[in-house]
Amino acid sequence: MGSVTFDVLTTAAILFVVSTGLMVILGVMKLLNFAHGAFLTTGGYVAYMAGLAGVSPWLSIPLASILGFLFGLVVERIVIRPLYQRPLDAILATWGLGIVISQVFALTFGRGVQFAPSPLSGTVDFLGVEYSAYRLAIAAIAILLAFALIGLLSLTRFGLNARAVIVNEDLARGLGIDSTKVRSLTFGLGAGLACAAGALITPLLSVDPNMGLPWLVNSFMLVLVSGVSFPSLLFASLVLGGTQVLVSTYVSPILGGMTIVVLAALILRLNPKGFSRA
């Protein structure tokens, strides 16, 4: 029983970490980034290569976020910016980008599965339960990340500008905010977060050219259900991720695999606003 509780909490944490990058981009740019899965994969390969190079696994996470940020800036300039007026086309273009990225990895590293070293191995005794140390660490990181992102949005000038663009882009522009720059930085931030998340979860799993794909749809669903708000994303991860763990544990793992998708689709059908301001 105790370990199921931890499963629920750590799964929610992983889902939250994996979805933040997507939410940042959706919130500011109103763009659903289909390359999100490929960005996760990129983070995974960064962790793998860092491991090969003998870099500390802890360092691979910030390294992935920096590379992701720079990569995001380039992608925004070349692919995303021409498509601001065509949101459905932007979705398709990011999907095509995802294909390109995963094929580049397939060409470089082959189709096979690679492993990245874990910064923490083994289990620890926490509140009377033996549990994976690294999963607990991810939960802690998720909480820190939530605070850091809320802090970034509510305490910094960039956060203020971003919030202004989210709510009313025209008014923000009229006050001297360069919304193009805000969008560009946001895409970089979203890509950076996604890469970091990929590096973070890779030690739990493994990395292959399509590693990010299974996460893609689940994070879409979580983000659509939670609207643009980190607390509500945390809540959605907990509710939907928790249900997924319970269904997988007590009913069937395969049904568990589709829990988030089905639940989120029904929630959105009944209340198109989802959990936002619920």
Partner 1 sequence: MNDAILSVRDLNSGYGSASVLRNISLDIKKGEILTILGKNGMGKSTLLNTLMGFVSPFSGKVMLNDKDVTDIKPHLMARSGVAHTPQENTLFPDLTVEDNLRLGVTSDRLFQQRISTIETIFPRIIERLKQRAGTLSGGEQKMLLMSRGLVAQPQLMFIDEVSEGLQPAMVDRMAEVLIRARDELGISVLLVEQNLDFALSVANRFMILKLGEFIEQGVVDDRTSAEHLSAHLAI
Partner 2 sequence: MPDTNITVSRTHRAALIGCLIGLCVVAVAPFTLDIYLTNILIRTLLLAAVVMTVDILWGYTGILTFGQSAFFGIGAYACGLVFTHYGFGPGWAFAALAIALGVAAIVAAATGWLAFFHGSSPIYASIITLALPIVLTQVIYSGGSFTGSSSGLSGFPTYFWDLKVWFWIAGGFLVLTTTAGWLLVRSDFGRVLIAIRENEDRSAYLGIPVSRIKTILMVFAAMVASAAGFAYAAFSNVVAPELVGFQLGTELLIWTALGGRATLLGPVFAAIGIDTMSSWLSGAMPFLWKLLTGVGFVVVIVALPRGLAPLLTALWHRFWPKSNSMFTEVKITQAPASRMLRASFGDTPPLRIEHLSRRYGSLKVLSDVNLVGHGTELLGVIGPNGAGKTTLMRCISDGKERTDGSIHINNVEIGRCSPQRVVGLGVGRSFQNTSLFDTLTVAECLKLARYRLDGAKLFDRVDTVALPQPALDILKATGLDQKLSNETRNLSHGMKRGLELAMVLATEPSVLLLDEPTAGLTRPERMAIGEVLTRLTRDFGLCIILIEHDLDFVRAISNRVVVLHQGAILMEGTVEEVVASDLVKAVYAGHHEEEVA
Footprint of partner 2 (CB under 8 A): 32, 79, 82-83, 86-89, 91-93, 95-97, 99-100, 103-104, 106-107, 217, 220-221, 224, 252, 254-255, 257-258, 261-262, 265-266, 268-269, 272
Minimum CB separation of residue 177 from partner 1 in Å reads 6
Minimum CB separation of residue 250 from partner 2 in Å reads 15
Which of residues 172, 193, 222, 236 is near partner 1 by CB under 8 A?
Answer: 172
Which of residues 117, 118, 173, 249 is near partner 1 by CB under 8 A?
Answer: 173
Site stretch for partner 1 (CB under 8 A), options 47-55, 85-93, 171-179, 259-267 = 171-179
Site membership for partner 1, residue 167 (CB under 8 A)? yes
Q: How long is the chain?
A: 278
Binding site partner of 164, from partner 2, partner 1, none, Cβ cut-off 5-8 A by kind: partner 1
Site membership for partner 1, residue 261 (CB under 8 A)? no
Site membership for partner 1, residue 102 (CB under 8 A)? no
Site membership for partner 1, residue 152 (CB under 8 A)? no
47 alpha carbon, distance to own chain's centre: 16
Residues 6+ apart with CB under 8 A from 54: none
Burial class of residue 4 (count of CB atoms within 10 Å of its CB; 0-12, 13-18, 19+):
middle
Residues 6+ apart with CB under 8 A from 202: 43, 44, 47, 48, 116, 211
Q: Are 275 and 236 in contact (CB under 8 A)?
A: yes
Minimum CB separation of residue 99 from partner 2 in Å reads 4
Which of residues 177, 205, 228, 246 is near partner 1 by CB under 8 A?
Answer: 177
| C-alpha to C-alpha distance for 108 and 110, rounded to whole angstroms | 6
Minimum CB separation of residue 160 from partner 1 in Å reads 6
Site stretch for partner 1 (CB under 8 A), options 98-106, 131-139, 142-150, 175-183 = 175-183
Measured in degrees and rounded to the nearest 5, phi and psi for residue 4 equal: -65, -40
Minimum CB separation of residue 227 from partner 2 in Å reads 12
| C-alpha to C-alpha distance for 9 and 241, rounded to whole angstroms | 8
Site membership for partner 1, residue 155 (CB under 8 A)? no
Tokens 């089905």, residue located: 262
| Phi-psi sector, 53: left (phi>0), alpha (psi -120 to 50), beta | alpha
Q: Determine the 3-state secondary structure of 129 from DSSP.
A: strand
Site membership for partner 1, residue 277 (CB under 8 A)? no
Q: Are 234 and 33 in contact (CB under 8 A)?
A: no
Minimum CB separation of residue 92 from partner 2 in Å reads 5
| C-alpha to C-alpha distance for 234 and 19, rounded to whole angstroms | 10
* Sites of contact with partner 1 (CB under 8 A): 157, 160-161, 163-164, 167-168, 170-179
